[in-house]
């Protein structure tokens, strides 16, 4: 079962890299701890501690900041004239 899950994850990662820039795809890696914490809560009935909630919020804030930086950079490149 783990071999199938690993193969599926690699396939999804390669597919993602084919469709979006690498820096954008790497943002999805930041979601791994959040998925692990939420999965532990759902499957093992573990509680949320202050540290876990703070970590999730910090990761979310980091993703928002990085996404905004990427959005601003893409907007600048659209408005920049093509100079020789």
Note whether residue 83 is domain-resident: yes
Domain count for the chain, please give it: 1
Note whether residue 9 is domain-resident: no
Note whether residue 82 is domain-resident: yes
Note whether residue 16 is domain-resident: no
Q: Name the average pLDDT for the chain.
A: 84
Note whether residue 41 is domain-resident: yes
DSSP 43-72: HH-PPPPHHHHHHHHHHHHHHHHHHHHHHH
Top pLDDT among 46 and 82 is at: 46
Q: With 0.85 as the threshold, say if the pTM is over it.
A: no
Note whether residue 70 is domain-resident: yes
Note whether residue 67 is domain-resident: yes
Report pLDDT digits (tens) over 43-76: 898 888 999 999 999 999 988 888 888 788 878 7
E strand map for the chain: none
Least confident of 21-25, 39-43, 61-65: 21-25
Note whether residue 3 is domain-resident: no
Phi first, then psi, for residue 38 (nearest 5°) are -65, -40
Q: Which domain holds residue 63?
A: 22-84
């Amino acid at each position: 079962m783990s071999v199938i899950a690993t193969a599926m994850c690699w396939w999804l990662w390669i597919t993602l890299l084919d469709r979006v820039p690498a820096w954008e795809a790497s943002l999805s890696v930041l979601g791994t701890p959040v998925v692990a914490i939420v999965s532990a809560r759902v499957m093992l009935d573990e509680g949320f501690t202050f540290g876990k909630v703070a970590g999730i919020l910090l990761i979310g804030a980091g993703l928002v900041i990085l996404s905004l930086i990427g959005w601003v950079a893409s907007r600048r490149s659209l408005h920049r004239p093509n100079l020789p």
